Structure 1
Amino acid sequence: MVAPAVVPVVPEQRQDQQQPPTEAPAKGPKIGAPDKYDGTRGAKAEAYVTQIGLYIISNPRMFPDDRTKVIFLISYLTGQASAWAQPYTAKLFAGHPVSYVKFSTAFQMMFYDTEKKSWAKRALRQLKQTKTISQYTFLFNQYTADARCEMTTLMSQYQQGLKKDIWLALVLARVHFTQLADLSNLALKINNEINGADMTTVDPSPAPEPNTMDLSAMHGQLLAKEKADMMRSRLCFFCGNKGHIARECPKKFKGKGKAAIRIAELEEQVQRLTTGQGTSKSAGWAEESKM
């Protein structure tokens, strides 16, 4: 026996049902029909969904309900994608309702790159500014769309990847951001201000003074005999000079003093940049920093 042909059931319209008055269609951009989709996973599936979505929202009168949307979407499927959609096609033929949202969700789970999101999140965590801040921001923004993180998470990741000076200046600014674009714009301004200030980088390990003792194994690694000799000569265990002990050695705090100066310089630069910032939610941060 030959199976009976499956005929799509089209809901009938009552004869006495009043048609809504027609209105002149509003002119808008002309959107071309989507390309056929054969089931290739990844970027091609995302492009297909984008084309379908643009066409539907550009022609709302053509798609008054879920049924018409799903029919349109299925009609452009070929190959394995069309085979995958057969259960939904059977439901449409039988007159059963098919949710457009559920169909789209199932389509995305089947044909989207499911590893893309986790890969993008991992890339954001590992991304660090090694060259210009513009290049860093460009790369960061490339991953944000696929990562689909909350805005607060994205802004936190962005700050953590910045170079130390820029990160510190943003912390000192005490500006509350709600958008990543505002944060990156201020970071760019701070970067330009710092680079334009003609400040040299402090060498964290200054060369030893010629008149001091050679302490190549110093800071807790001196031999007992060396310590005894230095105690008899009343020399500092830290720098090898006379006049003080290691606990009070001024060279211990030399680096900290330079760091404090650097922070003060950054605070001054940030204050100039953030005066009157529209994105700030905490006015008077300069006064707070003095408390």
Structure 2
Amino acid sequence: MSGSSLKGTTAVTGVKPTELKIGAPSDFDGDQKNAMSWLYSVQTYLLVNEELYDTDTKKVVYALSYMKKGVAHSWAATFQKVSLEKTPPSFGTFADFTKYFKESFTSPDTVGTAIAKLYVALIEFFSQGLKPFITNRIHMMETTPTKIEGWYTQAQKFDAKWRKVNEISGRKEKKMFHPRNNFSKEKDPNAMDVDGVRLSKEERDHHIKEGRCFGCGNKGHLSRECPDKGKTPQKKVKKICKIVEVEESDDEEKVAGPSIALVNIARALGKDF
């Protein structure tokens, strides 16, 4: 039975049609994600109850009655005010209401939405190639970049800082002092090194008694004033060989040859007599 037939029947019988509360819409708060589904539910309900909502004004006012939350409430209040201030008051057609509603609560920028989704995918792909600590630093920023350009910039900054820290750490490690081990061979605790020549306690006492230089073995000067100071030990040994003679024996005989001190010095230098 058509709608016109029902209206004719109502007019003849005088019976008021009953409102079928099937799929009544919920309150709309202005969320764009739910805008179209809410509008469809309003249109469906009005179609089922077209005998009751048989004018544009009834349909528009019905839709406005479910816009009670959030920004939708402010929008509906403004729409009602403008409509009632017209002369005469008019809510316009339901088709115009539907068009105005879509312009206000749905996003026509499908290209912009697609680009935004692309940015998210690019950021995800880019962040997977970064060092984990750089990704974490960017996410921990007070304002995390929402575009790939921002991620590029911040990643470069944090990477440069990381390289600088590593460079400084590397320099410090290279400058660390590692003392050499010069004590691999045991030394006689009673011996004394003088300018590279090793003297025992007895030899040192003998040099002091004779007034000899600890370095070259000559008399008349101290080791700090030695003219041969700084020369190689081998040169010192050759010079000492020329000037040193063993001391007089108990029977006042002299024996040519190296002294005990000279022998010890030569042995210390790897020489044999």
Tell me which interval the TM-score lies in, with the shorter structure as reference length. Answer: 0.3 to 0.5
Between the two structures, name the one with larger relative contact order (CA 8 Å, sep ≥ 6).
1
Larger radius of gyration: 2
TM, length-normalised to structure 1:
0.30
